[in-house]
A and B are shown apart, each in its own frame.
Chain A
Amino acid sequence: MSDLAYLTLAEAARLIAARKLSPLEYTEALLDRIAALEPVYHAFIAVTADIARAEAKAAEAEIARGNYRGPMHGMPYALKDIFDVAGMATTCHSKLRMHHRAGTDASVVRRLRAAGAVLLGKLALHEFANGGPTLELPWPAARNPWNPDLHPGGSSSGSGTASALGMAPATLGTDTGGSVRNPATCCGVIGMKPTYGAVSRAGVFPLAFSLDHVGPITRTVEDNAILFEAIAGHDPADPASARRSHADCRQSLKAGVKGLRVGVIAHFYEEDLAADPEMVAGIEGAILLLKQLGADVKPVRLSPLSRWMDCGRVIHYAEAYAIHERDLQERPQDFAPITLRRLLGGAFIPASEYVKAQQLRTLLVEEYRAALADVDVLITLSSYDLPCRIDDDAAIARTYERQCRMPFNVAGGPAIAVPTGFSKSGIPLAMQIAGRAFDEATVYRVAWAYCDAAGWTERHPPIAQAARQPAPAK
């Protein structure tokens, strides 16, 4: 079982294409693993075992007839429970949405169905992708795979947990201020926020329209690129969807970084906001390795982190409040306290401040583009602190927004979180690699070269003792 659990998506795809791995056996192995680990880690809100078995059987039969659709054919995946799947609730991990039923699939779900993928289930998140880790919701909170007492990052918390624990080789999350990259950081996996408009948001419950992105979370960079290619592309159902086809990210994936120009935004973590020394040591080790691999590394200065964060937060809070205003007025008691507090943050933002944030954003987007005229990618930290205990509200309040992911939501360009090692306590460290708008290919290329040389993605979490008990009988 564990061998199949930690197959990479790329390896599994090769075996499935060669008919050496049965999609149904693979799916059954992952369903067994989910059943064994869920009582401790709570990555899933709903396991769609019947759908998974039916889709796996159909894929297996089709491949046996010689009709192989591509690397997602017969491939198990799971979705943050913010994506619509026809006939299922899109709960957003909230009491307010327990009785919802989606009429149609989200566009990315349609693409994955068309690619022959196998839906394992829907994953835990922070309430409406905005709350924060809390134990006061109708479903338990996902736990950190490296230590279940800690929070796993969020808001796509279940996506990070399920990926790291070998429950699913492919998961999807959403990212408005870092919600794909934060769980990737905390769980030691790969999380990509693509360019705004590169992946359709149609059928995904919004948090803040002009900052929302859909992104893949996987255990390896190659797997992430495969999943990104399966979901990217123009979608008329999403008004923000870019009218362009994305580049082939896998063609140049393993071309190395020799001669590539890497800009380091060190002032974000050296001057603007002090980071945990272990996090800084992680990125410094990564910079050294990139130099050894032949990258031309140089410092880059952008506006101070606080300006990027202010801009993003005003837009985020104002747009999120607009979406939830009616429920905040009529049934505030149905939100978790942490979600209520965060959503209310948008109630008193003047309209003029929101417009000024959008004006500022145009300047910051230009600044970002200008910075990338001289370098091929940018790197900086992801989180400033190691994840704290999931039940420590004070520590969560103190540390949760200490991050530098929001600048890339404001700038709109692709940004990926990759592990840079482990703390003394065995918790993953991480950095981000960001690139020009619609240049995911170069971001993946640098991420692959670094991760291949560093080897951190080959390490898997120790399974908590409580999860080693036999799985419940089916």
Chain B
Amino acid sequence: MANDATAEIDEKVRVLAEVRGLGRALALAPDSVVGAIERGRRIGSFPASFTQVTEPAVRFAAAPGDDA
């Protein structure tokens, strides 16, 4: 059972890596590819003011209305 589960995970990793064109990287550094898949890089928390339509375009200015 455990071996089947491991084989299934390995196959998923292989497929994910192949889809991203990273077959060579997987062969060279499997731990790095597995680590990248597992980490996923997701944001853990958002402020209360975050909404699904928050504008993503950043503007840097010293004060509101200041034209950078």
Contact = CB atoms under 8 A, between A and B. Distances in A.
A360 B46 contact: yes
Contact of B40 (A348, A359, A367): A348
Q: How large is the interface on A (under 10, 10 to 19, 20 to 34, 35 or more residues)?
A: 35 or more
Contact of B58 (A210, A317, A349, A373): A210
B25 A360 contact: no
Contacts of B21: 325, 329
Interface size class on chain B is 35 or more
Given A359-B54, A359-B55, A361-B56, A306 B63 contact: no
A330 B56 contact: no
Interface in A265-321: 303-304, 306-307, 310-311, 313-314, 317-318
Contacts, number: 140
A306 B45 contact: yes
A353 B47 contact: no
A329 B68 CA distance: 39
Contacts of B44: 306-307, 310
Contact of B47 (A197, A210, A348, A367): A367
B60 to A, nearest CB: 4
B35 to A, nearest CB: 7
Contact of B62 (A310, A358, A437): A437
How would you classify the secondary structure of chain A's contact residues: helix, strand, loop or mixed? helix
A378 to B, nearest CB: 14
Contact of B43 (A244, A353, A436, A437): A353
A356 B53 CA distance: 10
A173 interface: no
B28 A362 contact: no
A463 interface: no
B64 A358 contact: no
A349 B60 contact: no
A332 B24 CA distance: 7
A328 interface: yes
Contact of A353 (B41, B63, B66): B41
A369 B63 contact: yes
A377 to B, nearest CB: 13
A363 B45 contact: no
Given A195-B60, A313-B41, A344 B47 contact: no
A360 B37 CA distance: 23
B43 to A, nearest CB: 4
Contacts of B20: 329, 347-348
Interface stretch (A101-109, A129-137, A176-184, A333-341): A333-341
A337 B60 contact: no
Interface string A145-189: 000000000000000000000000000000000000000000000
Nearest to B59: A365
B24 A344 contact: no
Interface centre among B24, B36, B46, B49 (most CB of A within 10 A): B36
Interface of B: 16, 20-22, 24-25, 28-29, 31-33, 35-37, 39-47, 49-50, 54-64, 66-68
Interface of A: 195-197, 210, 242-244, 303-304, 306-307, 310-311, 313-314, 317-318, 325, 328-333, 337, 340-341, 344-349, 353, 355-365, 367, 369, 373, 412-413, 436-439
Given A332-B24, A341-B36, A360-B43, 20 more contacts: A242-B60, A244-B68, A304-B45, A310-B42, A310-B43, A314-B41, A317-B41, A341-B32, A341-B35, A344-B33, A345-B39, A348-B37, A348-B41, A349-B41, A358-B58, A359-B55, A360-B54, A362-B56, A365-B60, A438-B68
18 contacts: A303-B47, A325-B21, A329-B22, A333-B28, A337-B29, A340-B29, A344-B25, A347-B36, A348-B39, A348-B40, A353-B41, A356-B43, A358-B58, A359-B54, A360-B46, A364-B47, A365-B60, A437-B60
